[in-house]
Amino acid sequence: MTTTAVRTLALRFTATARLRRLALVAALTVLGAVVTAHGELLALAAVPLVLLAARPRRALPTHLTVTVSLDPVRCVEGDELRLTVDVEAPDGAVDRVEAEVDLPGRTTAVPLEPDGARAAGWTVVPTRWGRHLVGPVRLRVVAGGGLYVAPLVVEVGDIVVFPAAAALARAVAPRELAAPLGEHASRAVGSGVEFAGVRPYQPGDRRRDVDWRTSARHGDLFVRQYAAERAFDLVLVLDTSTDAGPPGSSTLDLTVRAATGLAQSYLRAHDRVGLVTFGGPLRWLTPATGPRQLYRVSDALMSMRPDAAERDAGDVGFGLADLPRSMLPGRAFVCVVTPLLDDRPLAAVRLLLDRGFAPLVVDVLTNEPVLRRRRRQRVRDELALRTWRMHREALVGELAGLGVPVLDWDGEGDLTGALKHAMRAGEPRLRT
Amino acid sequence: MRPLPPRAVVRDVTDRLTVVATVAAGVAVAAVPDLRRPVLTAGGAAVALAIAAAVTRLRALGTLAVALTTSSVLLAAALDASDLRPVQVVAAGVLLLATLSALERTETPLGRRPGAATPLVVLRGPAASRLGVAAAAVGASALVAATAAQRVVPSVGLVLGGLVAAVAALVVTTRAHRDETANDGPDVHESLSGRVPGDRPR
């Protein structure tokens, strides 16, 4: 999707330093010539006087046509956008038009190679997910031989940068599935395509289901059975209380990427995906399926920001216990994505266990706090760091004690294998 | 502050050196062959100000350097007109023009953040028109200098006429640059989604 705008803008020129300096030199020289009665000094005055007289103010252009286009306006982190600026002015009326663009944080712009056309621009690369305002483009129109300059400001617009999804080779699911009409082979026997076993023939069985090899071996008729294909409900519970770590690979970045990857993979497999955020204001998105749900999830993820006021207000807004039943359907698989920086995730897991779910915790903390350099501060910091590590270990230990698998994810590995293990084996601690 | 790429650093240093060099050359042109103390003092101050302007990029210092360079030439002529040949005056004028251009390249334009990336040039006018006007200015200067160097018997009327013409030229030129309301267009803040009243908070 491209955004293009053509605008005819009025120019409001102001005098440049060049005009003032030329006027100063002309006035000084004429004054000097008059006072000292030296006519030859007028030769020096001739230079600024001619330059000033050749470009009167009334000859300046009054309007300029500017075309700004941004392509595309929706992208994924690291994608390249093309921002071009084209200026149309009467021939010779303008000496130079310079352009600068204001960019959001963690976004770079590289000038486009000139291709002979009038338009110039930048390749813009946003490296952080979210809704960002690109621009405005600030133009500086120099006219009248550099004697006048007019600033122009052209707004560009918002871009939507979707988070880069976590790698997930395929959408794995537990064997016990309740929802019908899906793509995951369940333990129940049904009319899928995955082989589930053989059983003795019964009247009414289809002839094409007869397993002739087994029948021949046993001397009696046997038929093949197939696994029923069921859908899967995935509820992503995201801890948005903190954003720790370097921008680009902070805990919130990894949380969003993990959630995006999971939601994409499972929605593609026609599963239902829901979303709950806690830590800040409690928000939820009832599980649903289809491409529209993917946009809803993306929208919800991109509006996530740590809210210190909500976080520091204790349990205000936590309220997982009060979530409607439709939000957490029975037999849904709950995946809690959290940096495990305080006790809230533990409380959330306890609530989920109380409601009969067996959640998986994905730990997205990749960096430890940085120690200060001064020796005295460092000693205190090291002590604090040890305490912090012990607290985290205790937290993980407590989760393991509750039978909740904890998966460390640093944003690089494929989550498929670990998820499969977590769903089917329930190992206490897994590493990708 | 964003570090400048190597080519931009070289260009920046060259521009700064050009400011100092052109001012020094302008002063030298005015001062030789008869070195007089007032001219040297004004010239020295001009060079010092040029160095300060090149280092600090302050617009006011640049303007003062230009004014002092002009004053050096005026002083040289006022003290002994026979020392200042027409070619020197023309050369001083050309060097002043070069100083102005170099100063503009050195100074950060109003509204641009210091250290910001070099702006992208979207449109550039024909070089012939820019250079043509400068060449005409130098030509006019040479013509005036050549006329002034003619050996004619000076008369009060001739001198007065020339000076009145110069003052008239100054007044006419100033009037040509008077601010007119015709250019006061509406607010220039535009948006892709239409006009917006002012700067949007970011």
Residue B176: exposure state from Cβ atoms within 10 A (0-12, 13-18, ≥19): middle
Please report which residue ranges of A269-363 form alpha helices under DSSP H: 291-302, 308-312, 344-354
| Residue A299 near residue A256 (C-beta atoms within 8 A) | no
Residue closest to B49 by CA, chosen among B40, B60, B39, B38: B60
Smallest Cα–Cα separation from A273: which of A317, A238, A241?
A238
CB-CB neighbors (< 8 A) of A57 in chain B: 176-180, 183
Question: Does the structure show a pLDDT above 60 at B192?
Answer: no
Residue A38 and residue A108 in contact, taking contact as beta carbons nearer than 8 Å: no
Residue B138: closest C-alpha in chain A: A47
Contact between residue B149 and residue A43 where contact means Cβ atoms under 8 Å apart: no
pLDDT: is A21 or B108 the higher one?
A: A21
Q: Using CB atoms within 10 Å of the CB of residue B152, give its burial: 0 to 12 exposed, 13 to 18 middle, 19+ buried.
A: exposed
User: In Å, how far is B103's CA from the nearest CA of chain A?
Assistant: 9
3-state helix, strand, coil in chain A (%, to 5): 30, 35, 35
The ipTM, to two decimals, is: 0.82
Which residues are paired to B201 by β-bridges? Answer: none
Pick from A27, A62, A157: CB nearest B192: A157
Going A219 to A220 to A221 to A227, the CA torsion angle's sign is negative
- Does pLDDT of A117 surpass 60? no
Q: What is the pLDDT of residue B114?
A: 55
Kindly report the nearest CA distance between residue A112 and chain B, in angstroms: 10
Supply the pLDDT for residue B168.
83
What's the mean pLDDT when you consider all of chain A?
82
Q: In the structure encoding, which two tokens stand for residue B154, read together?
A: 């000076």
Distance CA A322, CA A320 (A): 5
**Inter-chain touch B122–A86, beta carbons under 8 Å:** yes
- pLDDT for position B25: 92
The pLDDT of residue A186? 66
Q: How far apart are CA A189 and CA A175, in angstroms?
A: 11
Report whether B137 contacts A47 (CB < 8 A): yes
Q: Which of A42, A58, A83, A95 is the mutation pick for testing B, counting most B CBs within 10 A?
A: A42
Q: Which residue of A9, A154, A155 to mutate against B (max B Cβ within 10 Å)?
A: A155
Chain length of chain B: 202
User: Do the Cβ atoms of A109 and A122 come closer than 8 Å?
Assistant: yes
Where is pLDDT greater, at A350 or B82? A350
Q: Which of A71-75, A421-425, B67-71 has the lowest mean pLDDT?
A: A421-425
The residues pairing with A126 across neighbouring beta strands, listed in sequence order, are A107
The highest-confidence range among A31-45, A157-171, A179-193, by mean pLDDT, is A31-45
The answer to whether the bond into A359 is cis (omega within 30° of 0) is: no
Distance CA A10, CA B32 (A): 50
Other Cβ atoms less than 10 A from the Cβ of A372: the count is: 13
Report pLDDT digits (tens) over B101-117: 999 888 866 556 655 56
pLDDT tens track for A267-282: 888 888 999 888 777 7
Query: Residues A37-95: pLDDT tens digits?
Result: 777 788 888 889 898 888 888 888 888 888 888 888 888 888 899 888 888 888 778 88
A432: tokens are: 């990708």
Structure tokens at B155: 């008369």
